[in-house]
Amino acid sequence: MDVSTSVGFADIEAARATTATVVSHTPVLTSPSLSDETGREIVLKAESLQRTGAFKIRGAMNKVASLGPAAANGVTAGSAGNHAQALAFAARHAGVPCEIFVPSGAPITKIEACQAYGARVVEVGHSLEETMAAAREEAGKHGMAFCHPFDDPAVVAGQGTLGLELMEDVQELACVVVPLGGGGLASGLAIAVKSLRPDVRVIGVQAERCAPYAGEEPSTGPIVTLADGIAVKRPGQLTGPLVERWVDDVVTVHEDAIADAMVFLMDRAKLYVEGAGAVGVAAVQSGLIDLPATGTTCIVLSGGNLDLGVVPGLIRRHETEAGRRLVVAAMIDDRPGGLVRLLQEFAAAGANLIEVHHAREGVHLHVRETAVHATFEVRSPEHATSVVGAVRAAGYGDLRVDTG
């Protein structure tokens, strides 16, 4: 059988009918900022607002529904991310047991989310491959149904329902930019869109650190990327041929571009989007996609399950890159009032103190001196230069700016 024809438009239409009462028809939002930046008409498909926070609910609901009586003993999967939460939700909706296997040390927030949907969560192994193997073994022992996160016709058809929504909601659709991990979303969406409009281009986006569809050799060790949700090392046996047939091109984006895109979406679009969901914006902002001169380009924001602990680092990096952080070191008198006098000079120049600490070890100091490292919030690189000049002129000539 030709695997590339194993999922068709009729399957996607059937999946939509099956999942319609649960899956949200997520909004398509205009993006004036991106449109102005690129000179093209850009819109955002906010799948980050989907139930369970990502597109995965589409495929999980269709998969569980397709099992029928075969799901009576429950369903299981190996996942530490959006698929786990989606399957737990779908199982609860169907009234069947669910067991999720996650790697040891998986984020507690994701474990708790699965448990909140009634799933039993088991920590095993240190990689996704190990957890998948454990889930398959569990399915075999107890007659449960193993649900693959992407390499399954029912899952691909479910993800393809997103493409049907795009065809209804985006007039003059010319191009779709979609995150590409295992390939379920990209291939399903492409089948739906191109079955109706073969001229629409579909571009998959992968993170540079894990880009098998772009021809990169998979890493043998753990993959550290902001786009962990699409860090799949190998194309699926089903989705590989589907992506090859239906997706027009694949591009890869750098980690810095992903970080920039995540902050951009928070700042300009007021959307909380995880790294994997933001790679399409990263690709467009990096100039990696030849955007059509006419018609509308839609960027799919595939998920919003961002670990809260990542956000402060993203903001600090953004502020530093934008020149709104000033980090300095200075020698001051180790006497009462010495630090106050230094900080008063910065305050007079309009710099807002973020943090400060003393360093008395590892620095060549006079017996009555102490070193101070401080971080300030400033308005711009020009303001930072002005602040430094004013403080040096006030008697701190040895003030050093830390440029990282």
Q: Give the pLDDT confidence of 18-64 residue by residue, as tens digits.
A: 999 999 999 999 999 999 999 999 999 999 999 999 999 999 999 99
| 255 C-beta neighbours (distance < 10 Å), count | 16
Q: Is 399 left (phi over 0), alpha (psi -120 to 50) or beta?
A: beta
Query: Residue 5 pLDDT > 80, yes or no?
Result: no
- pLDDT bin (cut points 50, 70, 90) of residue 303 is very high
* Domain coordinates in residue numbering, the chain: 3-55+153-313, 58-146, 323-401
Provide the pLDDT for residue 286. 98
DSSP SS3 for 151: coil
For 3-55+153-313, give the CATH class: alpha beta
Residue 234 near residue 219 (C-beta atoms within 8 A): no
Residue 55: what pLDDT?
Answer: 98
Question: In this predicted model, what pLDDT tens digit does every residue of 212-259 receive, in sequence order?
Answer: 999 988 777 778 899 999 999 999 999 999 999 999 999 999 999 999
Model confidence at 362: pLDDT above 60: no
- 355-364: Cβ within 8 A, 24+ apart: 359/329
Same fold for the pair 58-146 and 323-401: no
Report the helix count and the strand count for the chain, using DSSP H and E: 14, 14
- pLDDT tops 70 at residue 366: no
* Interatomic CA distance for residues 248 and 296, integer angstroms: 17
Q: How confident is the model at residue 125 (pLDDT cuts 50, 70, 90)?
A: confident
For residues 4 and 11, the model is more confident at 11
Is 403 within 8 Å of 323 (Cβ atoms)?
Answer: no
Q: What is the pLDDT of residue 2?
A: 75
CATH top class, domain 323-401:
alpha beta
Query: What's the CA gap between 24 and 371, in Å, rounded?
Result: 56
Say what angle helices 82-94 and 56-67 make with each other, to 10 degrees: 40
Q: Which residue has the tokens 């043998």?
A: 220
pTM of the model: 0.90
Q: Which residue has the higher pLDDT, 403 or 104?
A: 104
CATH fold of 58-146 reads: Rossmann fold (3.40.50)
Cα 47 to Cα 16, 185, 334, 368, distances in angstroms: 16, 11, 56, 59
Q: For residues 365-390, give the mean pLDDT.
A: 89
**How far apart are alpha carbons 259 and 278 in whole angstroms?**
8
State CA 38 to chain mean position distance: 22
